[in-house]
Structure 1
Amino acid sequence: MLQSEVPAPATYSQYVPDILGEGFEQLTITPADSPDYEGDVFSTLVRYQAAAPTTRAVLYVHGFNDYFFQRELAQNYGAHQFNFYALDLRKYGRSIRPHQRPNNVRDLREYFHDLHAALARLREEGNTTIVLSGHSTGGLITSLYVREHQEQAGIAALVLNSPFLEMHQPWLLRKIGIPLMRRVGARWPDLQLKTALSAVYGESLHRSYRGEWDYNLEWKPNQVFGMNAGWLRAIRWGHAQIRRSLNIKVPVLVLHSDRTARRGHPEDVFETDVVLNVAHIRELSPWLGSRVTEHAVEGAIHDVFLSREKVRTEAYRVLFEWLGRVLPAA
């Protein structure tokens, strides 16, 4: 079932300690639509609770070639009296199984089952004011989810971190090459496409190279996972929905860098977005809804909250001041 109706309940494991260490727990979700075209599917909910009891929570969804590893993000939300949850979507990170291709999807609405299940669990645990947040591809997925389910999902606000609203490719490829591959994806969704994405972004993040962060390079490799034609078709469907206007009713915050990297300047990777074109984010953010706040963070990278310390401190300031304005008093 891929349409807008709400599926039957998912099933959940018990919480166990998470790989991120003290304060972090995880449980495994078996979504209502399992199995899919590759077999059984699972998603993983990671939890970090605020020190004092609260009914506020955030659910964070990662990007492409990604999973949740940002302890600092969770701790900042916790310090501001939010219970923090992150969802490793099916076929990503903690949720990958040996019979699956990483990131393999044919319709972005497949992920809605994961989101339904995670949000139901948040509500079961007493969270009544819920913020949904997504980075990059997660920003696209969460925006589409809120558009289709804003009445029953009970989302109070949407926070997007460099959302993937358009392909960052040359005009000829976007207008001719990608539409051709999208048609191919309808017939041969498992056809693997050659990726031309550089490893420079990943190498700028991981502490084994030039970055400050530690994470599992098997789950978030510097040279990104391959893309299937079905994945590309699903993404372009999502982009088409953005351009038709999503009409999201809840407040939306869009954070992104102030600049896209210049070609041939590798040091820009530490203070610009080298993955997406911020001009596309600026252009398309107003199409998300009527209550959109767009904010360019000077010197930010693609994942704003993995930028240098001074930059991400400013991003946290903007985020929590905005949440303080748009959410009801705790």
Structure 2
Amino acid sequence: MTSDGWVPDILGDGFEACTFPAAGPDGVERTATLVRHLPGPAAPGSAGETDAPAAPDADRDVPGGRRPRAVLFLHGWSDYFFNVELADFWTGRGFAFYALDMHNHGRSLSAGTHGGYVADLDDYDAEITAAIGIITALHPAAEPAPTVALMGHSTGGLIAALWANRHPGLVSQLILDSPWLEMHGSPAVRRAARTMVEPLARFRPEAVIRLPERSFYWRSISSAAEGEWTLDDTYRPPRAFPVRAGWLSAVLAGQSRVARGLQIEVPILVLISGASANGMFWKESMRRTDAVLDVNTIALRALSLGRTVTLERIDGALHDVFLSAPRVRADAYARLARWLRAYVLDDAGTA
């Protein structure tokens, strides 16, 4: 362990982790883990060679040309950060890359706690704010404070949007990868689910809701099945953590806030698959669609986030567009790079 608390990370060379406590608005202290990427001349990949585009020189920082830039990534529910390629993409464009394993997830799991559980999405606020504070403190005092972009996937995208709305001015851009902004189907499904779940969540928040267990998405991404990504089943169980009443109620409440409209002022990019596939049985189309969310519903709800929203639909993409087949995620990275050239500006206002 270094003197500032950083230790070698499970991802190996080029990655370090720092575990820290943060007290939420309810006064409860929770543990989260910040991961950082320290790229070297040959940073390793988690899944072999890919077609992700390399950063052109014009995308890189030049001394004295721009303020330092950083990005903080939030994973989805029942997940953790493992995508080395994503980290390489960001550092290749001059960003310091960080990822947060939020409390009760991944590197922050501890014995005796319910994996993935939270009773209020606001409970993540303290650790996200603390992580940004750590990121800022790591930069030399003589330099300008870095701008921080916030990126979130799935439930992490919902959490990121709500946090950015409650904390204006702390992040410079918001990038959402298949954010879980609405229930599958329509707002009516969410309202009906909330009516049924809230009484149980009020009196027995940790009660498990028995839902059909499906591992179709895990099957499409894990190298232990038919995907290409090496996953740690301790951190990301194939069938996900049990769904508990309090957690589902928290998600439904967060989605309701989005439905009423947020006022996020920074530029927002939303990336989703071109199509969804749902059902109780595996279908081959699940290899090239979002098998978790209703992408058409998400596309509509994204317009409720703020005044400047860009939507990119990635044909052939999975639920996490950056875990899709190499050709598909190369398209996603190219679209993300194009958006960054448009919306990540230096202090003089030029790209």
Q: Is the TM value for this pair above 0.5? A: yes
Equivalent in 275, 294, 300 of residue 317 of structure 2:
300
- Separation (CA, whole Å) in 2 of partners of 1:276 and 1:246: 21
Equivalent in 1, 7, 28 of residue 19 of structure 2:
28
Equivalent in 281, 285, 294 of residue 268 of structure 1:
285
Helix, strand or coil for the counterpart of 1:20? coil
Q: How does 1:1-330 map to 2 (within 5 A)?
A: 14-33=5-24, 41-49=30-38, 55-126=68-139, 128-151=146-169, 153=170, 155-168=171-184, 174-261=190-277, 263=279, 266-329=283-346
1:172 is displaced (CA, Å) by 7.8
Change (3 A) 1:178 1:241: closer
* Aligned partner letter, 1:66: D
- Separation (CA, whole Å) in 2 of partners of 1:165 and 1:173: 13
1:173 is displaced (CA, Å) by 5.6
Contact 2:299–2:311, Cα closer than 8 Å, also in 1: yes
* Aligned partner letter, 1:142: A
Partner of 1:6: none
Unaligned ranges ≥5, structure 2: 41-60, 140-144
- Separation (CA, whole Å) in 1 of partners of 2:262 and 2:191: 22
Helix, strand or coil for the counterpart of 2:338? helix
- Separation (CA, whole Å) in 2 of partners of 1:196 and 1:246: 32
Helix, strand or coil for the counterpart of 2:100? strand
Q: Deviations over 1:52-107 (max 9, x none)?
A: 88811100000011000111110111111111000000000000110211011111
- Separation (CA, whole Å) in 2 of partners of 1:91 and 1:34: 17
- Separation (CA, whole Å) in 2 of partners of 1:103 and 1:322: 32
Please identify, of 124-133 and 12-21, the stretch whose mean Cα deviation from structure 2 is larger.
12-21
> In percent, how many aligned pairs have the same letter?
37
* Aligned partner letter, 1:143: A
Helix, strand or coil for the counterpart of 1:67? coil
Unaligned ranges ≥5, structure 1: 1-11
- Separation (CA, whole Å) in 1 of partners of 2:192 and 2:309: 31
* Aligned partner letter, 1:16: V
1:243 is displaced (CA, Å) by 0.7
Helix, strand or coil for the counterpart of 1:216? coil
- Separation (CA, whole Å) in 1 of partners of 2:267 and 2:234: 36
Contact 1:108–1:235, Cα closer than 8 Å, also in 2: yes
- Separation (CA, whole Å) in 1 of partners of 2:247 and 2:150: 23
Change (3 A) 1:41 1:34: farther
- Separation (CA, whole Å) in 1 of partners of 2:193 and 2:151: 31
Change (3 A) 1:192 1:77: same
Q: Deviations over 1:20-55 (max 9, x none)?
A: 011000000111349977xx6210000013568881
* Aligned partner letter, 2:172: A
Contact 1:135–1:160, Cα closer than 8 Å, also in 2: yes
1:113 is displaced (CA, Å) by 0.7
Q: What is the CA RMSD across the aligned residues, in angstroms?
A: 2.2
Change (3 A) 1:256 1:172: closer
Helix, strand or coil for the counterpart of 2:251? helix
- Separation (CA, whole Å) in 2 of partners of 1:134 and 1:171: 22
- Separation (CA, whole Å) in 2 of partners of 1:87 and 1:171: 30
Please identify, of 256-265 and 238-247, the stretch whose mean Cα deviation from structure 2 is larger.
256-265
Contact 1:199–1:222, Cα closer than 8 Å, also in 2: yes
Partner of 1:9: none
Helix, strand or coil for the counterpart of 1:324? helix
* Aligned partner letter, 2:119: R
Work out the number of aligned pairs and report it. 315
* Aligned partner letter, 1:161: D
